[in-house]
A and B are shown apart, each in its own frame.
Chain A
Amino acid sequence: MLNSIINIIFIPEIFLASTSFICLLFGLYTNKNSFRQTCNFAFLILLSTTVLIYFNIGSNFANYDMLFSKSSFINFFKILVLVGSAASIIISKDYFLGIKLINFEIPILLLFSTLGMMLMISANNLMSMYLAIELQSLSLYVAAAIKRDSLSSAESGVKYFILGALSSGILLYGFSLIYGFTGSMNFDEINFYLLRYENLNLGLIFGLVFVMVGLAFKVSAVPFHMWTPDVYEGAPNSITAFFAIVPKIAAVALIYRFCLVPFENFYLEWSQIVIFLSVASMFLGAIAAIAQSNIKRLLAYSSIGHIGYILIALVAANDDGVKASSIYMFSYMVMNIAIFAILLSIKVKNEYLVNISDLKGLSKSNPIVSLSISIIMLSMAGIPPFIGFFGKFYVFIAAIENELYVLSILGVLASVISAYYYLRIIKIMYFDNKNNEEQLIFKISFQSKVILSLSLFIIICFILYPSLLINISASLTI
């Protein structure tokens, strides 16, 4: 009996959920300023859940497969989500203390959202997929509006909530059509049912399109990206960091699984949608970012562009595509952790940095920080020898293997355009003269410094031993 209880408790999701409750009670019943301890506690919880997933602990319940599934791909993405979430909690702790936003509920909400993302990645049923999406987005709506006395934060929360609810509605309509025409909610059973057919009938195509639209909202692919820049701009910086780093990973994993498991044999039907989403996201991400003066908006458009490249790998729809997506997602996470760790510790005139022009003259006052930003920007632009290059490289290899020549040429073009605004930041830091005497202050806590240097180390030194990650990602199966 005891043995089985221990077995159940160490299933990663159950462990995360139950320790989150403990964390909630801990925050509630300790003294008033428990924010710092709750953050540390949340960090520990996320790390130990990562260890549990790494050692692949779990057991088989009755009806377990009906709603839930498990594979190396799922485990890889779950680890990415957990590590990203843990890192973003640590780098944002000092920012929250700096703006005096010390509700202990913030790390709790982020924990629940992470739990939702884990369930989302491993969903094997339309119902569990929907509920997991709701769990993660409900926590994020609250997180976006958490700065109650700021108008822009409330605006971003409401915008995110309304558009998220709309996309959930579209998603559910798609689910109902798919369920109506196949008679099942389970991914494997839908796949099995569809084996009998050569072509999808009209109802199923409608269902597929609606679900893809709903998922495109969640990954913020063009033309369903409108909320991203506004929400990123309005939310507090550290919540923006979380938005940029974590939910995208889970949503990408989900869109991969949705396309490649139930609709495995109907490549032609969904690939048209994905090709459009991918090309539009890459170009809009590259072109719209040029005109931005707010660095959070710029990073929002940059993330839209990155989603475009990941969707190329989805169109490739082979083992190389899965491999490329996991490498790309890893590099995306590391680069975003690094850039946000820096952004959350720069202050201009006693306020946290928002405008790109405030970076002028950083190379004189803070050469090491400006060098790190330059490295991250070069890596995001996909310039070798940094990690961002490998992400794009494997995506294009996967596309070329599957003879998607036009798509890969368009991808390279968009990548060249996007290099402009990444390089512009470097130019502003190194070559623009500072016209007024504003002192940039860079103050970073020890823990964020560790995370920042670790991610910079990965960005720079990935080229020395790339096969470590590449071998793992080559062995992943959906």
Chain B
Amino acid sequence: MVIYSLTFYLFSSVAVLSALMVISAKNPVHSVLFLILSFVNASGLFVLLGAEFLAMILVVVYVGAVAVLFLFVVMMLDINFVKLREGFLQYLPFGALLGIVLVFELGILYLTDRSTNIYNNQIPLEPVINEIENTKMIGQILYTDYFYLFQICGLILLVAMIGSITLTLRDKGGVKRQSIVTQNTLEASNAIEKKRAKLGEGIE
């Protein structure tokens, strides 16, 4: 129990701190790296909740795809981030107002939860870990009951791939490609030509 809370506080405090760093770091590349740290910690929280499939998906999708995409955008495009930051003070009152509303609502939620007292006894603090892990459960349903839908999804992705290739691939003429077969079958007699250059003249 103690270890559980310790791990929880470790992950959650690192997640919150790195989220803070995302918006306060000067260097945009640092921001994206902190974003990745925050995602990884959030997926650690999912593991604590017993949702290891969601944790893996979070890492694969958000860290593997989205954050790396951000990194590309930040590094490739020439965006002036100092200029983007200029309006910070101007938007501060509005942002603060949103924050206050959120805190107020959270407080109301907490108070109603306290006063009605419905859930307090029912929800265990630690999640119940099943015998079958949930990746396996999802797989068991996805590949049996919903196999048909899974297949149609595959077809849709195939069509998307064909479509994007058809619409964007342009076959440029004049591209030189390496052909290993012709390189290997080349003989010196075909490739090299001997010519005798006369004195005082060049070769045409």
Interface mask (A111-151 → B, CB under 8 Å = 1, otherwise 0)? 01001100100000001100110110011011001101000
Taking chain A's interface residues, is the majority helix, strand, or loop, or is none over half, making it mixed?
helix
List, in ascending order, chain B residues with CB within 8 A of A128's CB.
148-149, 152
Whether the pair A135, B159 counts as a contact (CB closer than 8 A) is yes
The smallest C-beta distance from A80 to any residue of chain B, in angstroms, reads: 22
Interface residues on A, range: 20 to 34
Whether the pair B148, A67 counts as a contact (CB closer than 8 A) is yes
List, in ascending order, chain B residues with CB within 8 A of A132's CB.
152
Taking chain B's interface residues, is the majority helix, strand, or loop, or is none over half, making it mixed?
helix
Whether the pair B145, A66 counts as a contact (CB closer than 8 A) is yes
Contact of B149 among A67, A103, A112, A148 (CB under 8 A): A67
Assembly CA distance A257 to B109 (angstroms): 44
Closest residue to A142 on the B side, CB-wise?
A: B163
Assembly CA distance A139 to B166 (angstroms): 11
Interface mask (B150-166 → A, CB under 8 Å = 1, otherwise 0)? 00110110111011011
The smallest C-beta distance from B89 to any residue of chain A, in angstroms, reads: 37
The smallest C-beta distance from A134 to any residue of chain B, in angstroms, reads: 6
Closest residue to A24 on the B side, CB-wise?
A: B162
Q: Does A105 contact B (CB under 8 A)?
A: yes
List, in ascending order, chain B residues with CB within 8 A of A108's CB.
162
Assembly CA distance A18 to B47 (angstroms): 40
The smallest C-beta distance from A35 to any residue of chain B, in angstroms, reads: 13
Q: Does A476 contact B (CB under 8 A)?
A: no
Contact of B163 among A17, A62, A138 (CB under 8 A): A138
The smallest C-beta distance from B92 to any residue of chain A, in angstroms, reads: 34
Assembly CA distance A112 to B162 (angstroms): 11
List, in ascending order, chain A residues with CB within 8 A of B149's CB.
67, 127-128, 131
Assembly CA distance A135 to B157 (angstroms): 9
List, in ascending order, chain A residues with CB within 8 A of B152's CB.
119, 128, 131-132, 135
Number of A-B contacts (CB under 8 A): 59
Whether the pair A142, B166 counts as a contact (CB closer than 8 A) is yes
List, in ascending order, chain A residues with CB within 8 A of B82's CB.
none
List, in ascending order, chain A residues with CB within 8 A of B155's CB.
17, 112, 115-116, 135
Q: Does A63 contact B (CB under 8 A)?
A: yes
Closest residue to B155 on the A side, CB-wise?
A: A135
Assembly CA distance A145 to B155 (angstroms): 20
The smallest C-beta distance from A350 to any residue of chain B, in angstroms, reads: 26
List, in ascending order, chain B residues with CB within 8 A of A68's CB.
148
List, in ascending order, chain A residues with CB within 8 A of B144's CB.
62-63
Whether the pair B159, A139 counts as a contact (CB closer than 8 A) is yes
Listed in ascending order, the chain B residues whose CB lies under 8 Å from chain A are: 144-149, 152-153, 155-156, 158-160, 162-163, 165-167
Taking A138-B156, A138-B159, A142-B163 as known contacts, 4 extra A-B pairs with beta carbons closer than 8 A to each other, sorted by chain A number, are A105-B165, A108-B162, A139-B163, A142-B166
Q: Write 26 A-B pairs (CB below 8 A) sorted by A numbering.
A: A17-B155, A62-B144, A63-B144, A63-B145, A63-B147, A63-B148, A66-B145, A67-B148, A67-B149, A103-B166, A105-B162, A109-B166, A112-B158, A127-B146, A127-B149, A128-B152, A131-B149, A131-B152, A134-B156, A135-B152, A135-B155, A135-B156, A138-B163, A139-B163, A145-B167, A146-B166
